[in-house]
Structure 1
Amino acid sequence: MPKGSPRPTIRQRAFAKQLRHELTDCERLLWQQLRNRQLAGMKFRRQFPLPPYVLDFYCAEFHLAIELDGGQHFGEAQQLYDQKRSAYARAQGLTTLRFSNLDILNNLESVLSTILMQAQSSSFCP
């Protein structure tokens, strides 16, 4: 949990747990590559509560949030909402990487490389 961020309520934790059981196909595909420290030993959590939001994936070691965006994220209202989420995460000390579902389906290796490069360039890198 990032320092200074509010602790999730029981309801928020339950919602995150529900989301973990209902991964989209693209979330599942990326999760298969991130789970069990498969990407350079980085530990990721999926559907991590960061009240009032839930992050798709979170790596505490590198203060890194990863968000996957489906087609509904391309509307103007949703883009504004996503910008607000990213700004909130940034205020909590996180870097947010956003990828479209098409990136996951068509360029998974490039997505993984981008995640790895961000972690390596992070000022929190050990």
Structure 2
Amino acid sequence: MKRRKLHSRKELQRLRRKLRKNLTRAEAFLWKRIKSRQLAGRRFTKQHSIGPYIVDFYCASERLVIELDGQWHNDSLIQDYDYNRTKFLEGKGFRVVRFENVVVFERIDQVLEEIREHFDQHE
């Protein structure tokens, strides 16, 4: 049986590009602070695909996924989708950290510190 590629699947390439060009305000705000190895020398990618999902930010060296949740994440269908996605990612050995958009804007230093706290915790 052929094993499916886990990262950067070809069928999601077009959507990843579109999402990278159209970041939400919160994603752009956080990206300015984590791109180009600004956060403890770690390299992050934005709108990275893992399996069938596209995550907001991914740090390969830490197997760390960062997701930003907007107001629409209060919808029960979105919450179910997020739950299933998180379970899939955790089942593959990734750690998932979630922040609400408003927290990113109001407490960016705390957000960055919480992300740093997840460094060097992978097995």
Deviation at 1:51, TM superposition (A): 2.5
Aligned CA RMSD, in angstroms, stands at 1.5
Secondary structure of the structure 1 residue equivalent to 2:62: coil
Amino acid at match of 2:117: M
Question: Could you say which residue in structure 2 is the equivalent of 1:81?
Answer: 81
Q: Is the 8 A contact 2:7 2:51 kept in 1?
A: yes
Deviation by residue 1:70-118 (Cα, 9 ceiling, x = unmatched): 0000122211110111011111110000000011111111100000001
Q: Residues of 1 paired with 2:8 and 2:42: CA distance?
A: 23
Output the TM-score relative to the length of structure 1: 0.89
Output the TM-score relative to the length of structure 2: 0.91
Question: Could you say which residue in structure 2 is the equivalent of 1:24?
Answer: 24
Q: Does the C-alpha gap of structure 1 residues 118 and 7 become closer, same or farther in structure 2, counting only changes over 3 Å?
A: closer
Q: Residues of 2 paired with 1:56 and 1:108: CA distance?
A: 16
Amino acid at match of 1:101: N
Deviation at 1:13, TM superposition (A): 1.2
Verify: 1:15 aligned to 2:15, yes or no.
Answer: yes
Q: Does the C-alpha gap of structure 1 residues 7 and 34 become closer, same or farther in structure 2, counting only changes over 3 Å?
A: closer
Amino acid at match of 2:122: S
Q: Does the C-alpha gap of structure 1 residues 7 and 25 become closer, same or farther in structure 2, counting only changes over 3 Å?
A: closer
Secondary structure of the structure 2 residue equivalent to 1:61: helix
Q: Residues of 1 paired with 2:23 and 2:63: CA distance?
A: 22
Aligned length: 120
Q: Residues of 1 paired with 2:18 and 2:62: CA distance?
A: 25
Question: Could you say which residue in structure 2 is the equivalent of 1:41?
Answer: 41
Amino acid at match of 2:85: R
Name stretches of at least 5 consecutive residues in structure 2 with no aligned partner. Answer: none
Q: Residues of 2 paired with 1:112 and 1:9: CA distance?
A: 29
Give aligned-pair identity as a percent.
Answer: 32
What pairs up with 1:1-126 in 2 under 5 angstroms? 6-120=6-120, 122-124=121-123
